[in-house]
């Protein structure tokens, strides 16, 4: 009799979660937010940040109970499905913020001549548009990965109509999206 080690390891580790801070494993973790600067070292969205030393941004983290105390995480104890629901909601919020920025918020951050207010960011500052649009596309790819997890694990997708609403908004602004047409 041969043992399928890959399957055995996958069965053992299925539905296990890992603390982002210390690496501890468990079936449940605290999923929530913190503004602790030290959490920028392991928070998923902070991976690409260059200066993490004084970060006071709100960070979504998945940590064990001792690390939740240490990093002052405002969260709840959740299993994998709960965590994935929080992650997809966070991704959705980031996508909505990104498309709002591309639609209008950029006008509040850079000096724009009044006559150029009706133009899109892609016409006023193509480099900034390229940077912001690439961030949005990375978020859309992340959303698709999260969506795929729900399908593969036969877990109902929270707020399933969100995707079509988002796609219509993006297309209405004249942009392309990976989330539909």
Q: Are 44 and 85 contained in the same domain?
A: no
Q: Are 137 and 155 contained in the same domain?
A: yes
Q: Are 74 and 92 contained in the same domain?
A: no
Q: How far apart are CA 21 and CA 175, in angstroms?
A: 37
150-155 average pLDDT score: 95
125: CB partners within 8 A, 6+ apart: 106, 110
Exposed/middle/buried for residue 177 (C-beta within 10 Å: 0-12, 13-18, 19+): buried
Q: Are 42 and 92 contained in the same domain?
A: no
Q: Are 74 and 85 contained in the same domain?
A: no
Q: Are 122 and 164 contained in the same domain?
A: yes
What pLDDT sits at residue 88? 97
Residue ranges making up the domain that contains 104: 80-172
Q: Are 115 and 92 contained in the same domain?
A: yes
Q: Are 103 and 156 contained in the same domain?
A: yes
Q: How far apart are CA 116 and CA 124, in angstroms?
A: 7
In the sheet with 29-34, reading across from the earlier edge strand, the strands are 59-63, 29-34, 74-78
Q: Is residue 129 a part of any domain in this protein?
A: yes
Q: Are 31 and 99 contained in the same domain?
A: no
- Total number of domains constituting the chain: 2
What pLDDT sits at residue 7? 53
Q: Is residue 168 a part of any domain in this protein?
A: yes
User: Which domain-ending residue is among 30, 50, 78?
Assistant: 78
Q: Is residue 84 a part of any domain in this protein?
A: yes
Q: Is residue 24 a part of any domain in this protein?
A: yes
Q: Are 34 and 84 contained in the same domain?
A: no
Encode pLDDT of 66-122 as tens digits. Answer: 999 999 999 999 999 999 999 999 999 999 999 999 988 988 888 888 888 888 888
Q: Is the pLDDT of residue 143 over 90?
A: yes
21: CB partners within 8 A, 6+ apart: 39, 42, 61, 63, 64, 67, 70, 71
Q: Is the pLDDT of residue 152 over 50?
A: yes
What pLDDT sits at residue 109? 85
What pLDDT sits at residue 1? 54
Q: How far apart are CA 94 and CA 44, in angstroms?
A: 13
* Model pTM score: 0.84
Q: Is the pLDDT of residue 15 over 80?
A: no
């Amino acid at each position: 009799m041969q043992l399928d080690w890959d399957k055995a390891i996958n069965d053992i580790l299925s539905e296990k979660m890992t603390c982002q801070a210390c690496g501890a494993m468990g079936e449940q973790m605290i999923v929530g937010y913190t503004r602790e600067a030290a959490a920028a070292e392991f928070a998923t969205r902070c991976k690409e940040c260059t200066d993490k030393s004084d970060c006071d941004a709100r960070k979504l983290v998945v940590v064990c109970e001792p690390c939740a105390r240490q990093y002052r995480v405002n969260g709840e104890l959740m299993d994998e499905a709960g965590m994935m629901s929080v992650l997809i909601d966070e991704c959705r919020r980031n996508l909505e913020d990104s498309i709002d920025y591309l639609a209008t918020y950029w006008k509040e951050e850079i000096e724009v001549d009044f006559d150029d207010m009706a133009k899109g960011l892609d016409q006023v500052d193509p480099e900034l548009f390229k940077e912001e649009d690439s961030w949005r596309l990375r978020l859309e790819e992340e959303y698709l990965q999260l969506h795929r997890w729900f399908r593969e694990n036969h877990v109902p997708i929270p707020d399933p109509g969100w995707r079509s609403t988002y796609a219509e908004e993006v297309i209405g602004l004249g942009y392309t999206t990976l989330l539909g047409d």
